[in-house]
A = this chain, B = another copy of it.
Amino acid sequence: MQFFDLSQPLFDDCPNCHVHPAVRLPITADHPTDGWRMEEFHMASHTGTHLDAPLHKIAGGKSIDQMPLESFCGKCRILDLTHLPAAHPIGPAELQGALAGEIVLLNTSWGHRRAKTDEWIHRSPYLAPDGAQWIVDHGIRAVGIDHFSIGGTGPDNTPTHEILLGNGVWVIEELCFRDGWREFAEGAEFMALPLLLPGFSGSPSRAVLFKP
């Protein structure tokens, strides 16, 4: 198996969703004093590259462990939306060509601007509610984006999440499309397995393209 990484790194105080606590990943034991290295996680479950299960926005929705692992692996289509201006609402026009059963990944280039700035937090292109409805209506399996929120941070965020998650379309956020993704993607599939977290609304994940 060959892999191409689509994940953002997790590190102490890394950029994250502004309404979550700051990410704390301290080293708690180290060489040579302790004879080993150990770290701790102190962060929200929706940090870095992560999956949203329906429960994240839908009361009584499925938690991440209630979805078969096969859900998170399959054919994908990466849409090149790197030409879109800041804060652009992605609608049906930008989604044309995606097919039923695919995992659709929105490459806005915003993964390369990841920083604790107002621009990165609040001005990303995002999936608008009419785009989310198009995804549902066309039988798309899942949708991902290279920003921490598929729906941005404005008033469209809640309806976009609710349309997707309320219709069983899972979401992956904080992807990063590094140079070379296009060459690797030819014949590749997508995979992003969650940790085993019973009852959780989502999970950090290592998102990859892979080839047998």
Contact = CB atoms under 8 A, between A and B. Distances in A.
Interface of A: 1-3, 5, 7-11, 20-21, 25, 28, 31-32, 35-46, 48-49, 55-57, 59-60, 65, 68-70, 73-74, 158, 189, 191, 193-201, 204-206, 208, 212
B40 A43 contact: yes
B193 A208 contact: yes
Contacts of A70: 1-3
A101 to B, nearest CB: 14
When all copies of this chain in the complex are counted, the total is: 2
Contact of A42 (B41, B196, B204): B41
A211 to B, nearest CB: 11
A1 B73 contact: yes
A69 B1 CA distance: 9
A196 B7 contact: yes
B196 A206 contact: yes
A41 B41 contact: yes
A97 to B, nearest CB: 24
Contacts of A196: 5, 7-10, 48-49, 206
Given A8-B196, A11-B198, A158 B208 contact: no
Contacts of A212: 212
Given A48-B196, A191-B1, A40 B21 contact: yes
Contact of A59 (B11, B31, B65, B189): B31
A44 B28 contact: yes
B9 A37 contact: no
B200 A3 contact: no
A39 B45 contact: yes
20 contacts: A1-B70, A2-B70, A3-B70, A3-B73, A9-B65, A9-B196, A9-B197, A9-B198, A10-B195, A11-B199, A21-B40, A37-B55, A37-B201, A38-B46, A39-B197, A39-B201, A40-B43, A40-B45, A41-B41, A41-B45
